[in-house]
Structure 1
Amino acid sequence: MDKRELGLFLRSRRERLSPQDVGLAPGPRRRTPGLRREEVAVLAHISTEYYVRLEQGRAPRPSSEVLAAISAALLLTDAESEHAHLLAGTASVQSRLHCRDVRPSIVALLQRLPQTAGFVTSAIFDVLAWNDLAAALMEDFGSLDPADRNLARKAFLAPAGPRETMYGISDEAAFRHRVVTRLRVAGARYPSDPAVRDLIEELRTNSSDFARLWERHDVQSAPTLTKTFRHPLVGDVTVDCDSLTLSDRDQQLVLYSAPHGSRDAEALALLDVLGSAPLQSPSLS
């Protein structure tokens, strides 16, 4: 049980709610945002003292039933409730290390996809496998050291410059938020994995933007349906985004494609022919 993180998470969720959100009268003006602790305790049918100790990181581990009641009182989403259970140590399974091995069938599938850029990321955004079109659209991952294939580092720590900030994508701010939410879940799911712990600490120490987003304790982000890349050879390319969870390994299969016959599909087809070789030293206008 990570008492400190559980307390901070519960507090962050409590402070975002108003009495009206949970069917309570607003009452007199409040000095602090959100519900009062005693209101959460009443809604969850637990003692105020115990809930206060939970937020302060001083309480013993709650049962699954108590945590479910608190989740309901705080109107947590399924993702947020799962995160709370992970922090409390009441989730059904907690793996020691996150998985970095990609199934051979998935690697073979990537190579067979027609005019679709595809790649696989780990639970902490390491790019583990990719096809040629993904390399042409983004960068030649094979030429990078493994540590430099991490998209979280690229999003928050890469120096500003041509194509250094996430390949000129249109949704960089949303992607950064997605990175933080997934890393927070990974930190709770793999609390003893040094790779997970060290990456989070590196980002918190060296990126004020990451540190700011981390303090929000969000564990859910809006899905990305489309994304535009600003590419130095073919210009702007807008793609449909599909992210499929490989649940047995806690990995993501990310696919970028474009409608058949569209200008964007033609751009992807051209990149498929050109490959990633010209992008060794890319530049943007």
Structure 2
Amino acid sequence: MASSGSDFAALLRAWRDRLSPADAGFAPTATRRAPGLRREELAQLAGLSVDYILRLEQGRAKNPSDQVVGALARALQLSRAERDQLYRSAGLLPPRDGTVNAHVPPGIQRLAARLGDVPIGVFTADWTLVWWNAMWSALHGDPAVLPAAERSLARALFGSGAARAATLHIRPARGPDTFEASIVADLKDAVSRYPADGRLQRLVRELRAESEVFAHYWATRTTAAQHTSDRKTIRHPEAGDIHLDCDVLVVPGADLRMVTYTAATGSSDAGKLDLLRVTGPRTAAPRP
């Protein structure tokens, strides 16, 4: 597919200038002169370097990958039609129908951005993390430091790469076996609904080869209940054990899951979340 670097650069600049910082979760400041996002803010949201954003906008960086374009489309809160336009301007085919949807609707991003006190992560049908806020990074570590393919709950549970190494110790109230089985059940359901998705097929194939536990759950004929809400204990390196209610909210029509962590007002766990809000996002590091 033919591409125009100048078209891509122009769209990137125009849509960055259009997006309100408040809608993206950034507080207004007195020093802000332009109404849109700064390059460093777009870089933060998309998990890219500021220098790379600059080179893209100047047309010096050519042929961005589909992962990069998808991350930019989500960060810029593009509509589906605008997302497809951005893909084509980069010389790429837009995501096909029948594959796992990774597009987070702008309204969902605006809603999540306004809930800045709550750790929120948005996952696709195969439990790939595609959007998160600063509180999520403060609780779990910044997913932006991980390769895009490793921002996967399934890889964190069953893989042998960076996702598993960076995952904190989390103890679900329903027990780890029930939690793991429910994630595999969700993947089975996704495979049945997206049989043509090559990335999903590759994920399952690799996890079956890497993990005997995953292979066992996958071969089990009895389908566990899909993953829903639970109470979890998270062992945080600075705040210690935090007991939180983890709720999973389904986004109608988008096949996405919004995962939130909350604590009762006035509790010691709420106080620990307040501490993380002050200390801010931390870099994901291998667990001890």
TM-score range, shorter-chain basis? 0.5 to 0.7
Letter of the aligned partner of 1:254 in structure 2? V
Question: Is 1:178 aligned with 2:179?
Answer: no
Letter of the aligned partner of 2:113 in structure 1? Q
The TM-score with structure 1 as length reference comes to 0.61
Aligned to 1:164: 165
Deviation at 1:275, TM superposition (A): 1.3
Give secondary structure in 2 for the equivalent of 1:164. Answer: helix
Q: For 1:111 and 1:135, how far apart are their aligned partners in 2?
A: 14
Aligned to 1:209: 213
Deviation at 1:282, TM superposition (A): 6.1
**Cα RMSD between the aligned structures?**
2.2
Residues 129-153 of structure 1: CA deviation (Å, up to 9, x unaligned): 0010111111201222211111101
Classify 1:216/1:253 alpha carbon distance in 2 versus 1 (closer, same or farther; 3 Å).
same
Aligned to 2:265: 260
Alignment of 1:66-81 (within 5 A): none
The TM-score with structure 2 as length reference comes to 0.61
Pairs aligned (count): 188
Structure 2 gap segments, 5+ residues each: 1-96
Alignment of 1:1-285 (within 5 A): 96-158=98-160, 164=165, 166-171=167-172, 172-217=176-221, 218-221=223-226, 223-277=228-282, 279-281=283-285
Give secondary structure in 1 for the equivalent of 2:216. Answer: helix
Give secondary structure in 2 for the equivalent of 1:187. Answer: helix
Residues 201-247 of structure 1: CA deviation (Å, up to 9, x unaligned): 11111111000011113152463321110001000011111111113
Q: For 2:227 and 2:253, how far apart are their aligned partners in 1?
A: 23
Give secondary structure in 1 for the equivalent of 2:141. Answer: coil
Matched-pair contact (CA < 8 Å) for 1:115–1:257: no
Classify 1:174/1:139 alpha carbon distance in 2 versus 1 (closer, same or farther; 3 Å).
farther
Q: For 1:180 and 1:280, how far apart are their aligned partners in 2?
A: 24
What is the aligned-residue identity percentage? 34
Letter of the aligned partner of 2:207 in structure 1? L
Q: For 1:221 and 1:129, how far apart are their aligned partners in 2?
A: 21
Deviation at 1:115, TM superposition (A): 2.4
